[in-house]
Structure 1
């Protein structure tokens, strides 16, 4: 009886200690407007691999980042979460908070489901972390009806782009959208990468300064465009997709993911709007610089059900999942096997994959977080007070000096 009692006790304790396997995963994200798409993916994954997804969306980037970092220290942990590559991913990898996905990457690359060229953005000390939530190539979305009204065509040189802006100005139409919050860096990255991409890369690694002549010249050119009246009011709270739709601005520079915002408004590519690659300012560069980004989908090292999270991340990279993900959002995919219906987006995806462009890592990921914070504030001030550009660059460089003094 004593032996039987011990056996019963051990069995009951073992049963109590085993957590039930999850059938639904929480997916924390800073893309609240994408909840429907995450839900659609959850319905498909439930059908295909027995794992559903419940999105927990946020729209404030700073609050979201604080929430995820707080989860590192509490028992309330997401099964999956979105993040950024570059310095922000490196930071939490160093803290050993992110699950290793090397095996998933190796298999996906072998199967042709992920390109080898994408791996470096997810690699630290020879290991991969997270998988691509999305990839995006940056260019210019434009209101096709506005262009047609004034006899305009997508420009192939920088001078032609300025000519387009001048024509629009003469007709009391603002050529470009820009903002003083979060995406205040967009025109800086585009103009610097299109002028001197090597300088852009050196700046992101501390081998160049924000006060260097090449950077100053970019700011002066940017200032001249603001002074010329090409841009909308940077403090305007109109959603950029609505600004483009209603003609408040004729062009909006964003990543291919912006196409989702257009399709959400029942707009048709090729009829209501179009997309073109932004020409280099420096026409002598051997390749056109195209800003590139990839956002990660991650799991914590201490995820509530590590096996379930890894199973989902592995499935996420497959053609089955990626075709659904790209098609429902009207966007491109990280999986090279997925065909893109939109002709313009399909073309830039094909050209980028063939090496036609020089891909430049988006400023938001390329810049270390402490410097990025200072830069976003600085560029936000600049677009409202362009004459302050020298002080803005000096303030950003001060943050850069402090950071690079303790980092190699």
Structure 2
């Protein structure tokens, strides 16, 4: 309990494992280094002095006060699960902030001058805007090699980072893990967005925002003619709820480089299991279209017919969001329910009874159609099981 004042000169302070500091940590005019172990809580401020300072944090560290980086720039490197609960005041020089997996940022990051670097580990929570300030700044979403290997689990490295607040002033953005950009996210000042190995950028789309027939409600639309998106092993996944039989998605004046290729299992793909994606009429457009052949459904002729019936109505498929194998199984079960409930499918006792009633009422009767007029018998089936007033024919016969 109490403050730690490093004064002038070259100083090193180490807080061991399972330590709680209930006071401020102050640096002096010299080169100061603060190091913490694991499971550490700092309940005061960290104020660095005018020297070239360095902070190294272990895993599971809580900083509950503000951090003043000093004047000459600082290198702050954290392990996994670092909780920045206070504000961070950066310098006009080069600042480097690296946070490991599953860290938490709750206050806006506003870097200043200098070529600053901000790295955020996989599975972290970012409830703040990210501003790189002036200079050529780099924002990286990816694994933090500094984190203790013992703290990195499969779940840590595969967890998603959700970004819903604006990104400003980072000329270079690198995606090396799973990241989701909200549809209303604003990105300004970016020159290069690189999808690195293991990087997956999930791009959510707002279907209500359009320019003509083209969907434009996503974070990569119209970033400027100087902004390029490229892949060195990563990919973009378009995430669109309510996708109909055909959707055109525009990236506006954002440059999609040749390494961004639309298609199944390519560097620009879609989360939907019942849609595929292809290049559009313009270089910065892609087209989502409904798959007419899905191997899991093709196994069953009757189910495939029902699926094609649903797909024949452009907006009807938009009622189904099928993005996982589990959701696809549920959808196939739904198709089966429609098929089994049809009186022309003899897959259940109820269907056989329905067919028998149809025979008694219609087939065994003698019809006398008027000359030169149509008589139609057969049946109509809801394309979706009854939620829409849309049908397709089944066993329809026309006679004159």
With the length of structure 1 as denominator, give the TM-score of the two structures: 0.21
Judging by fraction of residues, say which structure has more strand: 2
- When normalised by structure 2's length, the TM-score is 0.22
Bigger radius of gyration: 2
